[in-house]
Amino acid sequence: MVEKSLSKKLSSFQIIILGFMATILVGAIILMLPISSADGSFTPFLKSLFTSTSAVCVTGLVVFDTALHWSIFGQIVIIILIQLGGIGIISVIAFVATIAGRNISLRERSMLADTMSAHQIGGIVNLTKFIFKIVFITEIIGALLMMPVFCGEFGLKGIWMSVFHSVSAFCNAGFDIMGQISGSFNSLTFYATNPVIVIVISLLIIFGGIGFLTWQDIIQHKYHIKRYRMQSKVILATSLVLIILPTIFFFFAEFGKYPFGERLALSFFQAVTPRTAGFNTANLPAMTGVGKALMIILMLIGGSPGSTAGGIKTTTFAVMLASSHAFFFRKKSTVLFGRRIEDHVIRHASTLLILYGTLTVVGASIISLAESLPLATCLFEAASAIGTVGLTLGITPGLGPVSQIVLIILMFLGRVGGVTIIFAAIKIKGTEVSRSPVEKIMVG
């Protein structure tokens, strides 16, 4: 009775936040135990909390090399946390409830819609089942495609490596267990020129990042793109542009010294992974300042709504571009694919952009002051955290407690969503019934 009355008092946003917090805490406690570490020792709570947060928030920033510090049990815990965080805690609970034959209440359906960024609660339970089918089928196919490479090199251990990296890639988590092969914290650099690993990991990242509602459109309507939701069209078009243009930039500006095939593979992968996977096949600290700046922008944009990715989302980026286009060309309305965008959506997009930008700068400034590191380097790390990416210039493992806590907060805000935190914290009483007088103010 107490639990039911408490759940009724909490908003869906508050329940989502509490669900993530509880999962992170349980994960941190398990990772502290000797059974979770490779050498059988206790892991300090803050470092376990950092790892658990990074896993549940599908980020990939780590203070320990995953392959070298954690035991197989610890790695299994991490991949379970990644799967829970990627699909969504509320979605997992609802799916288990439907399998058990329990009816999902209207309030619970509303929470599911908020979790999945769905426009309506009708059909939300069927959408949940659809999501689980897509997730597991895609991850199994990804693992099977990588097995010939990993099993050919590592025998039966290659099965676990294939499964781990398939789940991590589709959930856009960026965790890897390559430490014993490529060296600690070197991610997938050992496989930078392997076409199977590069292509499969890249496709898993893209598939996980375009959103489940987009997948629903693709499967239902196939090549009849005109029948897609406007949102799906925006996501696919924006994602395509954000892959092609950075690939071209990296190809000509960053990897000119490599042979054509390797150069193309490096450029394509580095264009895909900042949104928001966290794997890398190149030496990121060696990249130019412009290249790093572009990656920061890509990390902040992130993936798409209702996906496993973070960031402000491709739709937010597209809406802001469309709004700017409407302003420059004196259009009365902001339009995308022949459909008018409502004003409240534009305000939401503007708020997200300001919020993520502010949090990134504030977080980077605190880290820079605490660690006496260049602000540009800290901006990269902060953007990686709030964008739930996981790319690093190599400073994360050596950060002190204050900086680790800052990154934990940024990762959590990036996964749960800054606006969700605001809605959870501020209780709105009723709707606005009066409007203030108008007075002109000059901007720009």
The tens digit of pLDDT for each residue in 54-65 reads 999 999 999 999
Q: Is 335 exposed, middle or buried (0-12, 13-18, 19+ CB in 10 A)?
A: middle
Averaged pLDDT score across all residues of the chain: 88
Name residue 339's beta-bridge partners.
Answer: 336
Q: Which two tokens stand for residue 11?
A: 């908003």
Name residue 340's beta-bridge partners.
Answer: 335
pLDDT of residue 428: 56
Mean pLDDT of the 115-123 span: 66
Confidence of residue 385 (pLDDT cuts 50, 70, 90): very high
What pTM did the predictor assign?
Answer: 0.92
For residue 437, give the DSSP letter. Answer: P
pLDDT tens digits, 93-117: 666 666 666 666 666 676 666 666 6
Give the count of alpha carbons within 13 A of 189, CB side only. Answer: 13
Mean pLDDT of the 267-273 span: 96
Q: Is 8 exposed, middle or buried (0-12, 13-18, 19+ CB in 10 A)?
A: exposed
Give the count of alpha carbons within 13 A of 369, CB side only. Answer: 8
Confidence of residue 3 (pLDDT cuts 50, 70, 90): very low
Of 254, 255, 242, 247, nearest to 289 by C-alpha is 254
CA distances from 235 to 34, 136, 329, 347 (A): 44, 22, 23, 19
Mean pLDDT of the 75-80 span: 97
pLDDT of residue 116: 64
Assess contact for 166 and 177: CB atoms under 8 A.
no
Q: Helix (H) and strand (E) counts for the chain?
A: 20, 2
CA distance 275 to 272: 6
Name residue 341's beta-bridge partners.
Answer: 334
Query: 442: phi > 0 → left, psi -120 to 50 → alpha, else beta; which?
Result: beta
pLDDT above 70 as % of the chain:
86
pLDDT of residue 97: 64
Q: Are strands 334-336 and 339-341 parallel, antiparallel or unpaired?
A: antiparallel
Work out the number of other CB atoms within 10 angstroms of the CB of residue 337: 16
Task: Evaluate if residue 358 carries a pLDDT over 90.
Answer: yes
pLDDT tens digits, 187-240: 999 999 999 999 999 999 999 999 888 998 999 998 899 999 999 999 999 999
- The CA R_g of the chain, rounded to the nearest whole Å, is 22
pLDDT of residue 441: 82
Mean pLDDT of the 312-324 span: 94
Confidence of residue 427 (pLDDT cuts 50, 70, 90): low
CA distance 34 to 11: 38
Task: Evaluate if residue 324 carries a pLDDT over 90.
Answer: yes
CA distance 216 to 236: 13
Which has more confidence, 85 or 90? 85
Assess contact for 78 and 24: CB atoms under 8 A.
no
Q: Which two tokens stand for residue 161?
A: 């490596």
